[in-house]
Each structure stands twice: as C-alpha cells, then as structure tokens.
Amino acid sequence: LLISQMLVSSGVSLEFRYHNTVEVERYLRDVNNTFQFTHLHSIGKSVEGRDLWVLILGKNPSEHQMGIPEFKYVGNMHGNEVVGRVLLLQLIDHLTRGYLSDPLVTRLLNSTRVHILVSMNPDGFESSSRDCMYSQGRFNKNGIDLNRDFPDAFSKKESGMREMEVRAIMDWLKTESFVLSANLHGGAVVASYPYDNSNGGSELQSGSSVAPDNDVLIQLAKTYSYTHSKMHKGDHCYDSKDFKEGITNGYYWYPLPGGMQDYNYVWGQCLEITLELSCCKFPPESDLPGLWDANRAALLAYMQQVHLGVKGQVLDAEGNPLQNALVEVEGRQNLCPFRTDLHGEYYRLLLPGNYTFMVTFPGHQVLMETLTVPYGPDSFSALVHNFQLQRTAATTPGPSHPTQSCIPPQVWRPLDGHSPSLGPSGVTILLVLQVLWNTM
C-alpha cells in the first residue's frame, strides 16, 4: 500500500491499459489516501457484490457546500463499452495532478464538487471479451440492459424490482442535488441529448423528442463535440450514420425507453447527456492514449458548463430556506417542476438572456421576477440570486411535498418486491394532484 501511495503522489503516470475491478478499487483508495481534496464512497453494489465506487473531488469533498454545484460523470454502464472507464481514471489522474498547479483544474475543483463513478457495471466488465463491437458483457449479471431499466416518463410499462445497479443510481440522486451529468458509452462518436423516448405527445417534433430545456441541452452537446478533436466533424464509424456537428437528439437517433439520461432530467432535475466516445466498444490498448488526447479538453469544458444560468436560495420573509419551493422559468413546461433542495437551494442551467421566473410555495404569495442571466462558465459561477417570498394573509402555511406524479413509480418498493400498479383511476388522481399543486 505504501508503494502504491508513493506511485500516486510521485508523478508516475497512470498506465494506459484496462484495469480490472480490483485494480480500480486499489487505485481509487490510493488516490483518496493521498489527496485531501478527495472523498471515496460506495453508492451500492452490483449483483455479484462488487462495490460501485464514487470518487468525489473538490475543495470540500465530504459534504455539499452552499452555492457549489454538484457534477457527475458515470462510466461503463454497459460492461463491454470500456473507453469511458479508462477516460474517467485518466481524468482523476489529471485532476489530482493539476489541482493547485493547473489554473483550469484548480478553478474547476474550487467551484464545483465533482463525482466520478468509473464503472456502473463492474460485473459486465469482468465478463467482457476484447472484441471491437461484439464483445459479451453489455448487460449486468442478470442479463439486463441497465440503460433500459429506469422508470420512464413516456412509457406505461411497469416492471418489478429495479436492478441493483439502477437502484443504486436512483438512491444516489436522492442524496445529492446534481445539476449536470454525462454518461459515457462507446460504439459511435456523438453527443446525444434528451429526450430518448416519446409517447407521441407535444414533445415529438420533426422526428425529435424535444425537452423544455432543448436549447441548453444542445449547447451542452455542442460544447463537448466542438471541444473534442473530431466529434464535431460527424461520426465516421463504418457502421454508423453521420451526425451533423457531432450531436443528436436521442429519440431522433433511435427511441430508447427506460434510459438513464431521461430519468436524470425528468425526476432528478439534473441535465444529463450521453457521450459515445469510440467506434470500437473495446478498442486495443494501443488506441487509449489517442482517445484520451481527443477527449481530455472536452471532458473539462463540459464540466465547466455546470456554471451556466442562475443559482441561489428561496427564502421566507424571515430569511429561512424553503425546501420544495417550485422555481419555474416562463416558457419551460418541465414534466416535473424544478424544486429547491433541503437547503432551499435551486440551480437552473440557462443560456445568456432574459428570463421570467415564477416561484411558489404553499402559504406564500407567488413571486414573479425577471432576471438577466450572463454567461457563467467563464467566471466559474452562475448568476447568484435569492428569491424571498412573503406569506399570504388568508392561508396557513403547510409543508410542501413533491406531487405523486413526480415520484418515480419504482421508488415505491414494497417489502414483497412487487411494485404497485396504477389503474386508470389512479393515474387520474395523480394528474389531478399535479394540477391542484400548480394552482396553489
């Protein structure tokens, strides 16, 4: 262990090769033991009992700090798509080496709390064979595609218990107020953004499933594709289509029910895109240095986008933070309205411009306010603005809770392992609750 710590801290580069799960855990522990600005924890286990290790990097890595946005990268969701796993290890190496010596890295980690899950599917990785496109190992130990197992706002299909790895992600999103995320895949070279699915409603426009924050999501995807050495030129993989500017709406590419990026966006109020980073899902190790060079700047630039828009708190007349206050932006009808967290904090990723906000909380007057939002990433901070609400004279204030229709169905996990089924009357009740809440 002492030798490993010396290697981490002495400037010896992390090898460009495929590290197995035991080696990854050893490396992460060494990093955590060496650098005080890191914190290592497991968010759960795989089916075969392997820990899902997350390394947090930042000025205060152990806990959330007011005004510091939470960012995450997730790699190796499909066990045989391995480039993301390698890139995230190299990113950790780059961040730990650069903190306090590289100005960009230092400003990023001083202004952002960065969470890195190197492998979401370690069981799949360990079962993979080294074939460019047709390696086994995509699924978890139970043979389930983890990127089809999340609750889906557009699908009526319900399943029983979610896979262990998926439940770990869902629980993780309840413990941290993530603002921005990316999920790293392989098999193409493109940045894909929500929505991935549609039920043929108003979101379906010209073959794309368009989210309320479509302008921001396109900006996020373009940030990665244009900072990448070649992604913006279009995908030139032999068995894939060309993608204009290296980006695509997920549904326009192909419908994907039960995906993680839509789940993050709809229920986690975290904007997430999917990064396809290599033509080969399991390329030869000799390709890895070039893939790191192609993606290094893009990984950093994307992280910096967490500072788009506006952030702050919603407070009552006495200055106390209000949890679960709605912070809505005029013209953006999110399926589940963005809400303040337990600190009364909100984060809204927005492009520069003028925006009218409507802030509501039971027992308080509705607040409408227009803000001019600058471009925050250059200064490593979104616009800071607190909203202060006044009590209404006639209404006794009561607690604010998420409406049932905005609670993912599979968060309710009875002890018998069976999920409740909502009939038509149940769905109607949920919709009525949503309408009633929005009129309060």
pTM for the whole thing?
0.90
Instruction: Select from 58, 94, 24 the least CA-distant residue to 295.
Output: 94
403 Cα distance to chain centroid: 22
Element holding 52 (H helix, E strand) = strand 51-57
| Four-point Cα dihedral 23, 26, 31, 32, nearest 10 | 140
Instruction: Select from 167, 212, 176, 165 the least CA-distant residue to 39.
Output: 176
Query: What mean pLDDT is reported for the chain?
Result: 89
What integer pLDDT is reported at residue 399 of this predicted model? Answer: 47
In the predicted structure, residue 415 carries a pLDDT above the cut 70: no
Q: Cα(52)–Cα(427) distance, rounded to whole angstroms?
A: 35
3-state secondary structure (DSSP) of residue 37: coil
Q: How does pLDDT run across 123-137, given as a tens digit for each residue?
A: 999 999 899 988 899
The residue assigned the tokens 């650098």 is: 35
The dihedral region occupied by 372, where left means phi > 0, alpha psi between -120 and 50, and beta the remainder, is beta
Active site residues: 276
In this prediction, residues 186-194 reach a mean pLDDT of 96
- Res. 408 pLDDT band, cuts 50 70 90: low
In this prediction, residues 340-351 reach a mean pLDDT of 98
- Domain ranges in the chain are 21-307, 310-388
Q: Which residues of 278-291 are buried (b: 16+ CB within 10 A; e: fewer)?
A: bbbbbbeeeebeeb
Q: What is the CATH number of domain 21-307?
A: 3.40.630.10
- How many Cβ atoms are within 10 Å of 432's Cβ, its own excluded? 12
Q: How does pLDDT run across 346-392, given as a tens digit for each residue?
A: 999 999 999 999 999 999 999 999 999 999 999 999 999 999 999 99
What integer pLDDT is reported at residue 156 of this predicted model? Answer: 73
Q: How does pLDDT run across 83-115, given as a tens digit for each residue?
A: 999 999 999 999 999 999 999 999 999 999 999
- DSSP assignment of 84-129 equals HHHHHHHHHHHHHHHTTTSHHHHHHHHH-EEEEES-S-HHHHHT--
Q: How does pLDDT run across 31-68, given as a tens digit for each residue?
A: 999 999 999 999 999 999 999 999 999 999 999 999 99
- DSSP assignment of 211-254 equals -TTHHHHHHHHHHHHHHSSSGGG----TTS---GGGEEEHHHH-
What integer pLDDT is reported at residue 404 of this predicted model? Answer: 56
What integer pLDDT is reported at residue 270 of this predicted model? Answer: 98
Instruction: Find residue 182's DSSP bridge partners.
Output: 73, 273
Beta-carbon contacts of 397 under 8 Å, excluding residues fewer than 6 positions away, are 362, 363, 364, 391
What integer pLDDT is reported at residue 203 of this predicted model? Answer: 97
What integer pLDDT is reported at residue 394 of this predicted model? Answer: 67
Beta-carbon contacts of 345 under 8 Å, excluding residues fewer than 6 positions away, are 66, 67, 177, 311, 312, 313, 321
Range name among 180-184, 201-205, 237-241, 308-312 with the lowest pLDDT average: 237-241
Beta-carbon contacts of 314 under 8 Å, excluding residues fewer than 6 positions away, are 321, 322, 325, 327, 340, 344, 346, 359, 361, 386, 387, 388, 389
Superfamily for domain range 310-388: Carboxypeptidase-like, regulatory domain (2.60.40.1120)
